[in-house]
Amino acid sequence: MNATTGNHYQGINVCILQMAMLRMERKDPRWVTYVQAQSKGWQVRRGEKGTKILVYLPPKKILNKDDELEEKDMVVAWPTVFNVTQVDGEIPPYEAPEITVFAAAEAGESIIKKSGAKIEYQGDEACYMPMIDQIQLPDRKKFKDAAGFYEVAMHELVHWTGHKTRLDRGGITGKIVFDSTEYAREELIAELGSFFICAETGLPFNPKNAGAYLKHWIRLLERDKKEIFKAASQAAKAADFLMNRTKANPIRGTSTVVQKQAA
C-alpha cells in the first residue's frame, strides 16, 4: 500500500513489490515516492535504491495541427518508490492486521458463497467447465489443509470470472487448446488472480503449486514479455470482481472497478 494515501497497489505492482520485500527481507508493506516522502517531512536515506512500479496515465486531449481536440494514447510511466524502512522521519509504526487461520478461511468461504458460482464437489481434479458454467472441486477432505483448498478454489473462481456473462475473457469464451498460447495466458491469469486474493485476505499461497504451468508460461513470456503485464491486469480485474469491488451485479457481467489504485 502507499504510505501517504493508504491506497493499495494493484496488478503487476503487487508482484513487483512483494518480490522487492522478499529480496530486501522487509515486512512493512508501505511504499512511498521521493516527493511523497518529502511532503511528509521524511527523507529517503542516502544510498538507498528504489523500486520501479508501473503506472498508466490517463489519455489527454490535445490540439492537433487543425486546432481540433484529439485524444492522445494512454502513457505508461515507471515511477520509483521506496519502502518506508528505507526512509527516515516520524513515520507511524506499521501495525499488521492480525489474520488468524480461521479468519482467512472465513474470507475464502465468503468469496465462494458471494460469487454465486455453481460448484460440484466430486472427483480428484479441480477444473472450470465454461460450456456448463460450473466449477468442479475435490471434496474438502481430500486437501491436506484448508489453505490448500481455498487456494485451488480461488484459482478456479478466477477462471469462472472469464465467462461471457461476467468479464468475457477470450481465454474462457474462445476455443481453448491445451498447451496453446491462450491456455497458458488464462492459467497465468488464474494463478495471479489467486495470488492477489490470497495476499489481501491472508490465505496462504504456495507458489510451488504453480510448477505444472511453468513451462507454458516460459514459452508465453519468451514470445512476448508484455504478457505478464497483460495477465496481471486481467487477474486484478478478476480479483476485484470476486471481492465485490465492482459496480455491476456479478451475474450481469460488465463491471467497473471502483477501488483506487495507489500512486
Q: Which residue has the higher pLDDT, 219 or 131?
A: 131
Burial of 19 (0-12, 13-18, 19+ CB in 10 A): exposed
Res 153: pLDDT: 95
Res 218: pLDDT: 83
Instruction: Answer whether residue 98 shows pLDDT above 80.
Output: no
Alpha-carbon separation of residue 123 from 44, 92, 135, 140 (angstroms): 54, 50, 12, 11
Whether 38 contacts 72, CB under 8 Å: no
The DSSP annotation for 106-170 comes to: HHHHHHHHHHT--EEE-SS--EEETTTTEEEE--GGGSSSHHHHHHHHHHHHHHHHTSTTTT--H
Q: What is the CA angle 188-191-194, rounded to 5? A: 145
Instruction: Answer whether residue 70 shows pLDDT above 80.
Output: no
Q: Can you read off the three cell numbers belonging to residue 69?
A: 481536440
Lowest mean pLDDT among 35-39, 135-139, 164-168, 227-231: 227-231
Using CA atoms, how far apart are residues 76 and 78, in angstroms rounded to an integer?
7
Lowest mean pLDDT among 5-9, 114-118, 166-170, 200-204: 200-204
pLDDT bucket at 56, cuts 50 / 70 / 90: confident
Using CA atoms, how far apart are residues 134 and 148, in angstroms rounded to an integer?
20
Choose among 254, 204, 214: nearest CA to 99.
204
Choose among 126, 143, 144: nearest CA to 135.
126
Instruction: Answer whether residue 239 shows pLDDT above 50.
Output: yes
pLDDT bucket at 43, cuts 50 / 70 / 90: very high
Whether 60 contacts 71, CB under 8 Å: yes
- Give the residue carrying C-alpha cell 489474520: 99
pLDDT bucket at 48, cuts 50 / 70 / 90: very high
pLDDT tens digits, residue range 200-217?
A: 888 877 766 666 677 778
Instruction: Answer whether residue 148 shows pLDDT above 90.
Output: no
Give the pairing of strands 134-137 and 119-121. parallel
At 81, which helix (H) or strand (E)?
strand 80-83
Res 208: pLDDT: 67
Lowest mean pLDDT among 127-131, 195-199, 234-238: 195-199
Using CA atoms, how far apart are residues 24 and 82, in angstroms rounded to an integer?
11
- What share of the chain in percent tops pLDDT 70? 88
Q: What is the CA angle 235-237-243, rounded to 5? A: 100
Alpha-carbon separation of residue 206 from 105, 108, 148, 157, 212 (angstroms): 15, 15, 8, 17, 13
Whether 160 contacts 128, CB under 8 Å: yes
Res 137: pLDDT: 96
- Per DSSP, the three-state class of 64 is coil
